[in-house]
A and B are shown apart, each in its own frame.
Chain A
Amino acid sequence: MKDIAIVGYQQSDLVSDAGACNEVEMIIPVLGKLYEQVGITNAQDVDFVCSGSCDYLQGAAFAFVMGVDALGAVPPIKESHVEMDAAWALYESILKIRMGQAESALIYGFGKSSPGELPIVLSQQLDPYYLAPLWVDTVSLAAMQARMMLDQGLITEQDMAEVVARSRQNARRNPHAQLAGDVSADDVLAQETFVSPLRKADMCPVSDGASAVVIATVEKAREWGIPYAVISGIDHCIETHNLGMRDLTDSSSTRTAAKNAGMHNGAVDVAELYAPFSHQEIILTRALGLDSNTSINPSGGVLAGNPMMAAGLSRIGEVFNRIVSGEASRGIAHATSGPCLQHNLVTVLEKA
C-alpha cells in the first residue's frame, strides 16, 4: 500500500462570532494560505477534494454546496462530502489514494455555529423517537458523564480544572486560539458551576472557523519538495447510541481505533485529542494509555476553540505542525462525533 503524507495545514482564527462573514468567506482565505504553503494554484492541482460540514449549523439543506464555490471547480473536479467532521473526509480521501484513483487530495471542514444555539442544535442528533423530543442538550449529557466519573471517584474537580488550565496556558502559543491566558486550576475552581458539575471553563467555547489539509502520496510530496508527515495509520470506530448501554467513563471505541491505527507501534510524543469537555480529555488520555511522556493538546485543544466539523481535522493538522517543526517525531490525532464521545477516529503521524 502506498505511503500517504500530510503536506499542508491551515486554519482560520477561531472566533465566537464571525458576523456577516459567510461560510465561503471563511473557507477561501484558509485555502489561499494552504495553496501557498503547498505550492499549488487551486483545487485543480489536486486529484480529489472532500469536505465535512453540517447542514443544521447553517440552517439550510446542502450547506456544502456553496462550499464548492470556494474551490474554483471549473472545469469540474472529483469531489465528495461527508456530513461529519472533516477528519472523516480525510479518511475517505485516503481510501481514494489507496485505490489508485488519486495521488493528492484537498480536505476542508467548516462550521459557523454562532447563529444557532449549538447545544440545542446538537440535541437533534439523538434518537428522534425517545431522546430528541426531550431536547436533552450536549452540555447536559456531558455533565452527566462528568458526574458519573466524580461519583465513582475516577476524577476530581481539581483534575478537570487542571485540564482547563493547561489548555489556556498552551493556547497562548496558538495564534488562532479563541481562549488563551495565564489561567490556573484555582482560577477555574473559583468559577461557579454552570451545568453541575461543569463550569463554563470545562466546556469548549462555541466557535466559527474552518481548516484545511492537503495530503499526497509520499512520492508526490517529494516531487513537490515540501515538508511532510507520514500517515502511518488511521482507523475509526462507533459505539452504540444508547447511552445506558455504554460505559460513559471509558472510550472503548477510541482504544479500538488507536490499536487498529498502530498507535502502540512506537512512542507517542504528542497527542491532539478532540475533547470538548475537560473530563473527556481525561477519559481519552486513559483510554489511550498516554502518560507524561506525551505532550497532550499543545495547541490548547478544542477547549481553546471548537470549530464544528473542522476541529477533528485541525487536530491532525496540529500534530502535523509539531512533526514538521521538529518538536515531535511521532504523534496521534483524535477526532470525535456524537454525544459523550460515541464515534472516534485516531490518526497516527510520523516524521518522514
Chain B
Amino acid sequence: MANLAAVVGIGQTKYTTKRGDVSIAGLVREAAVNALADAELTWNDIDAVILGKAPDMFEGVVMPEIYLTDALGCNGKPMLRVHTAGSVGGSTAIVAASHVQSGTFRRVLTVAFEKQSESNAMWALSSPQPFSTHLNAGAGGYFAPIIREYMRRSGAPYDVGIKVAVKDRLHGARNPLAHLQKPDITMKEVEESFMLWDPIRFLESCPSSDGACAMVIANEELAGQSPKKPAWIRGAAMRSEPTMYAGREEVSPQAGRDCAADVYQQAGITDPRRDLDVAEIYVPFSWYEPMWLENLGFAPEGEGWKLTMEGATSLDENGDIPWNPSGGVLSSNPIGASGMIRFAEAARQVRGDAEQHQVEGAKLAMGHAYGGGAQFFAMWVVGAEKS
C-alpha cells in the first residue's frame, strides 16, 4: 500500500508568449521559488527534484536537467527527468509523488516547463523521418479529423466548440496567471475567428506560451506540519497505448477510459460528475471538452456536449461540475508544463487557494493530461481530506 503524500506548495509563473526577461533557468527557478515560498520552505528542505518537459527540440537543449540542476538547487541530490509527450506535466507530478509514496523520500520538488519562444513547436513536431509519411500539420491538423468524427457520431450542434472557447477564456479572465486575458470574449468573436484546421478555429485553439509550474510534495508527517492546507493525493494513474493499431478508438481512447477507471477506483469515485467538485482537464482544442466529458465518464457516450451547452462545466453559469476554472490549456499552454498546471490547479481548488476562480467548497478535484496523438494519459485526484 502506498504511503500518503500531499501537495504542500505550488508555484507558477505568469504565462505569456515570450518571457524575454529570463533564461530557461530563470524561468524554472521562478516557479520553484514560488512553490517553496508557498510551502514556507527552503532549498535545504528538498530531498530530490523531478523535472518534466515536452520534447527537447522545443528549446534546443538536449536533456536540460543536466543544465538546470544549479537553478533548481539540486546539486548533491537526485534529479530525474520525465518525458511522456504532452501528458508529461501530469506524469512528472505522478513520478514525483511516487518518490514520496514509496517511502523513499520525505519531501520532493517537481517542476515542469516549456519556453516555447526559444524555438518553433511546429518545426519541432514536424521533422521528417525516414520511412514515415511527413505529417507537417502540427497537433491541430492531427486532431481535426478526430473531432469531425466526434461531431458526426454525436450529432452535436456546430457551436459546442465555440461555447467551450468562450467559457474557458471567461474562466481565464479570473486567473491573473492565464496567458490569454479576454474578459469580453463573445460567441460571435470566436465564430468569426479564422478557420485553422476545420472545424478548429483560431480562438478554439490553445496559445503558445512560456511558463513553468512547480509543486512541493511531502509525506504524511511533513504535510501534517505544513503551514498551509495540504492537498492529499487520493489516486494517480497513467496509461499508454500505441499510436496506431487496427480498431483503435481515436475519439474516445481506451487508454483514457482505463486510466480514469483506475484513478476513480483509487479515490473511491463511482460517479465522477457527482463525486468530484471540480476538474482541470487537458483541453487544447475546444471540442476536446465534450469528447473528454464522455471519455472520462462525466456523461454518457454522445452526450458530453449537452453538459457543455447546459453550462454544467461553467463557473460563470454556476455549473455543478466546473471544468478548467483556471482557464485551462485554452488560456495558457506552455506544453511541457500544461499537464502539471492542471494537476496543480486541482490541488489549489481543494486547498481553497484558487482566489477568483475558486469553486466554492471544493473538496475533491481531478487533474488530467494527455499527450501524443491522445495515446498517453496521466490523471490524479486530490482531496482536502486524507480519505
Chain A residues near B80: list those with CB within 8 A: 82, 84, 88, 91-92
| B255 vs chain A, min Cβ distance (A) | 4
- Report yes or no: B82 in contact with A238, Cβ–Cβ below 8 A: no
Q: B53-61, B338-346, B348-356: which lies at the A interface?
A: B53-61
- Report yes or no: A242 in contact with B62, Cβ–Cβ below 8 A: no
- Report yes or no: A98 in contact with B67, Cβ–Cβ below 8 A: no
- Report yes or no: A55 in contact with B56, Cβ–Cβ below 8 A: yes
- Report yes or no: B3 in contact with A99, Cβ–Cβ below 8 A: yes
| A204 vs chain B, min Cβ distance (A) | 18
- Report yes or no: A238 in contact with B79, Cβ–Cβ below 8 A: yes
A77 CA / B238 CA spacing, docked (Å): 8
Query: Is B158 part of the binding interface, using a Cβ–Cβ cutoff of 8 Å?
Result: no
Chain B contacts with A in 226-244, Cβ cutoff 8 A: 237-243
A146 CA / B228 CA spacing, docked (Å): 51
Residues 39-58 of chain A, each 1 if its beta carbon lies under 8 Å from chain B, else 0:
00000000001000011101
Q: A266-274, A285-293, A323-331, A337-345: which lies at the B interface?
A: A337-345
Query: Is A80 part of the binding interface, using a Cβ–Cβ cutoff of 8 Å?
Result: yes
Chain A residues near B255: list those with CB within 8 A: 76
Query: Is A175 part of the binding interface, using a Cβ–Cβ cutoff of 8 Å?
Result: no
| B118 vs chain A, min Cβ distance (A) | 8
Question: Of B66, B98, B125, B131, which is within 8 A of A338 by CB?
Answer: B66
- Report yes or no: A65 in contact with B127, Cβ–Cβ below 8 A: no
Chain A residues near B306: list those with CB within 8 A: none
Query: Is A59 part of the binding interface, using a Cβ–Cβ cutoff of 8 Å?
Result: yes
- Report yes or no: B23 in contact with A129, Cβ–Cβ below 8 A: yes
Count A/B pairs, Cβ under 8 Å. Answer: 183
A122 CA / B64 CA spacing, docked (Å): 11
Chain B contacts with A in 98-131, Cβ cutoff 8 A: 98-99, 101-104, 124-125, 127, 129-131
Query: Is A22 part of the binding interface, using a Cβ–Cβ cutoff of 8 Å?
Result: yes
Chain A residues near B67: list those with CB within 8 A: 125-128, 241
- Report yes or no: B66 in contact with A1, Cβ–Cβ below 8 A: no
Chain A residues near B103: list those with CB within 8 A: 1, 98-99
Chain A residue at smallest Cβ distance from B121: A61
A124 CA / B102 CA spacing, docked (Å): 34
Query: Is A81 part of the binding interface, using a Cβ–Cβ cutoff of 8 Å?
Result: yes
| B284 vs chain A, min Cβ distance (A) | 16
Q: B9-17, B29-37, B70-78: which lies at the A interface?
A: B70-78
| A82 vs chain B, min Cβ distance (A) | 6
Chain A residue at smallest Cβ distance from B86: A62
- Report yes or no: B102 in contact with A95, Cβ–Cβ below 8 A: yes
Chain B residue at smallest Cβ distance from A96: B98
| B142 vs chain A, min Cβ distance (A) | 12
Query: Is B199 part of the binding interface, using a Cβ–Cβ cutoff of 8 Å?
Result: no
| B369 vs chain A, min Cβ distance (A) | 13
Query: Is A64 part of the binding interface, using a Cβ–Cβ cutoff of 8 Å?
Result: yes
Query: Is B222 part of the binding interface, using a Cβ–Cβ cutoff of 8 Å?
Result: no
- Report yes or no: B98 in contact with A238, Cβ–Cβ below 8 A: no
A66 CA / B376 CA spacing, docked (Å): 12
Chain B residues near A59: list those with CB within 8 A: 127, 129
- Report yes or no: B372 in contact with A62, Cβ–Cβ below 8 A: yes
Q: On chain B, which size bracket covers the interface?
A: 35 or more
Residues 1-37 of chain A, each 1 if its beta carbon lies under 8 Å from chain B, else 0:
1000000000000000000001000000000000000
Chain B residue at smallest Cβ distance from A115: B130
Chain A residues near B64: list those with CB within 8 A: 128
- Report yes or no: B77 in contact with A99, Cβ–Cβ below 8 A: no
- Report yes or no: B258 in contact with A95, Cβ–Cβ below 8 A: no
A73 CA / B243 CA spacing, docked (Å): 10
Chain A contacts with B in 64-118, Cβ cutoff 8 A: 64-66, 68-69, 71, 73-84, 88, 91-92, 94-96, 98-101
Chain B residues near A127: list those with CB within 8 A: 67
Query: Is B95 part of the binding interface, using a Cβ–Cβ cutoff of 8 Å?
Result: yes
- Report yes or no: B78 in contact with A337, Cβ–Cβ below 8 A: no
- Report yes or no: B245 in contact with A22, Cβ–Cβ below 8 A: no
Knowing A95-B102, A128-B67, say if A76 contacts B240 (CB, 8 Å). yes
| A322 vs chain B, min Cβ distance (A) | 26
- Report yes or no: B84 in contact with A69, Cβ–Cβ below 8 A: no
Chain A residues near B375: list those with CB within 8 A: 65, 68
Question: Of B78, B99, B101, B372, which is within 8 A of A65 by CB?
Answer: B372
Residues 136-165 of chain B, each 1 if its beta carbon lies under 8 Å from chain A, else 0:
000000000000000000000000000000
Knowing A74-B242, A99-B3, say if A337 contacts B63 (CB, 8 Å). yes
Chain B residues near A66: list those with CB within 8 A: 243
Question: Of B1, B55, B241, which is within 8 A of A73 by CB?
Answer: B241
Query: Is A169 part of the binding interface, using a Cβ–Cβ cutoff of 8 Å?
Result: no
- Report yes or no: A68 in contact with B83, Cβ–Cβ below 8 A: no
A71 CA / B243 CA spacing, docked (Å): 12
- Report yes or no: A54 in contact with B62, Cβ–Cβ below 8 A: yes
Counting chain A CB atoms within 10 Å of each CB, the highest count among B58, B60, B241 belongs to B241
Query: Is A190 part of the binding interface, using a Cβ–Cβ cutoff of 8 Å?
Result: no
Query: Is B313 part of the binding interface, using a Cβ–Cβ cutoff of 8 Å?
Result: no
Query: Is B181 part of the binding interface, using a Cβ–Cβ cutoff of 8 Å?
Result: no
Chain A residues near B66: list those with CB within 8 A: 125-126, 238, 241, 337-339, 342-343
Residues 366-387 of chain B, each 1 if its beta carbon lies under 8 Å from chain A, else 0:
0000001001100000000000
25 A-B interface contacts by CB (under 8 A): A55-B55, A56-B57, A59-B127, A61-B57, A74-B254, A78-B240, A80-B95, A82-B82, A82-B83, A83-B63, A83-B82, A84-B65, A88-B80, A91-B80, A94-B102, A95-B95, A98-B104, A99-B3, A99-B103, A124-B61, A124-B62, A128-B67, A238-B66, A239-B69, A241-B67
Other than the known A64-B84, A80-B84, A88-B81, what 9 A-B pairs have Cβ atoms closer than 8 Å? A61-B124, A61-B125, A77-B240, A95-B99, A96-B98, A124-B61, A125-B62, A128-B67, A339-B66
Q: Kindly list the 9 A-B residue pairs having the minimum CB-CB distance in the complex, ordered from nearest.
A: A61-B55, A98-B102, A76-B255, A79-B240, A83-B83, A99-B102, A76-B241, A338-B66, A99-B2
